[in-house]
Structure 1
């Protein structure tokens, strides 16, 4: 049986103009969206926060009839938008940000730098940081066993090894706001107010779930037996210890210090977890440099790892970013620029260190004797002689 053919008739003449009108209105709406987006981006990049808010208000009214969903979303954004008075309001903390009594400046700032970069950490450090995350994610399971997550953690180690980055990563993983204590603001010109400032900051951070980072803890938590410190600063340590003891398990208090030896012994005992961040080893340095380079110059990795041995992540990032800027401006290959900057660092090293780097590069098969000699400034005869002495 043959299928029946369905006849289609042309659209009535009156329908065509209606369709054209819909298309024209859609195109016009898209053009309006694009114009508003460009205008909004321009104002935001100029740092004019009040103008941004005004523009969003206008957009919410403009789209009320044509796009109710968008208009509603913009109104919700305006209601929850952070301000100087309550930057964490969007996270459920409506308390007013504590201010210094003298300068009237905020005593605390929120860290909003976008998605956190996964920190490159030594395995033992990564395991401790990840457990801290897992404890807070699994707070309900811990409660079934009568346990609570670690409330406080102390990060120690030299500058530039990932302490602040780890705190930022934890905040991202736990979907909590990261609050950073501005110690320069907390230290009041009137010492009697410093303890009050710290109490206000900690009370604010405890008022809703968050992560509070006390950076450079040694600035305020020095040893109480230090004869160079006045009595007020010693009392300040006592205030800080009392506040740490009262920290709720719904939030996380982190502290970072580059000089653990300056901390009062009682401070160490108050923290549930102490994590020592060492300088990165070769494996961690290679991962970090590859991340900074964006895998653009993998052939330079082994050379840079050896040149940067004993350096921090921050040192490595500065060198790579300097090379990337220079390469972008000059049109040179990033590989060549990195090698040049590495050679600049080599010139500052003693001859024994440069010889060892040359030997390592040749022995691992990364470079020929000639290339290793060119990069390190060590003669090929010296490299050969040392290899014979070492039986290589």
Structure 2
């Protein structure tokens, strides 16, 4: 997500810190930067020249003159470089090239199974990324970051998947290392629901510093943003609410090997299974959504109950974290009218009033774009960090 632009929290000891103030794209004069940062005029002038040299800022229309020579204004230049973003799902993949503001310049979607293995995924991603760069008229040297979302647990510090249940052959695969054979830019890899939370916050709720994004699809997971930062936990497993025990599911086996998990009764896969067992054929979560939209009473009741089950777990999350927003995404969010209603019914009834007085529970606004936008933002924030900018100035 966008880094702080508060001069009191930005490190102003180098040009990278000053740049964080300019990332909001609001034009400023040298004099304004001197006043807002407390730095000397020569220091501000020198750092502006450094940032101009990197192309990260550019002059814009002059400020209104107050007599004498007009003051030049400077603002963030999002066209200076590009990033590559990729979102891999169980049976789909999407890749995009964006500018430094996260705006899509070109993208490509494909039906492809993650189970074909990491080498195949790297080959596809490399070939497609190079095609998109050519399509947009950008070169490989202009890529300053690569962000990737995967449908399984990821050790964020290394970018390696860790025992991913639906990704055979991927365990501890060095994805950043494989891509660096082609790209020199940093490669950041994260769990798909984390990047969805980041994309949702960036695209639709830029002022929200505390939210929980819940993906309900074949499985269930949550991305947590607290205090303005994405929370991954000590080993990247934060937000794995799909395997929280639920009393109603006590005897039901889960794909993880345990019994009684939320995912065993409230995921799209579980709802489809239960509907089929009751005589309403539904092979996939998408079938459940279609039935609910067509007004099938059993499907509607099943989705509403899944929302109640999800709400039972989220009630604990609300008490623990006190978020301002709970956002529901994933395939099952297409039946949001019924799913979100079930979540609200339980969370608002069982949480203390202080926690829910201003709590909003709603469907994802970014919807199908959340993951690709989050992957792009992951790469952008790394590329535009004060440390990366300082390193670029030293090189």
Q: TM-score scaled by structure 2?
A: 0.24
- The normalised TM-score by structure 1 is 0.24
Q: Which has the larger radius of gyration?
A: 1
* Larger RCO: 1 or 2 (CA < 8 Å, sep 6+): 2
The structure with the largest helix share of the pair is: 1
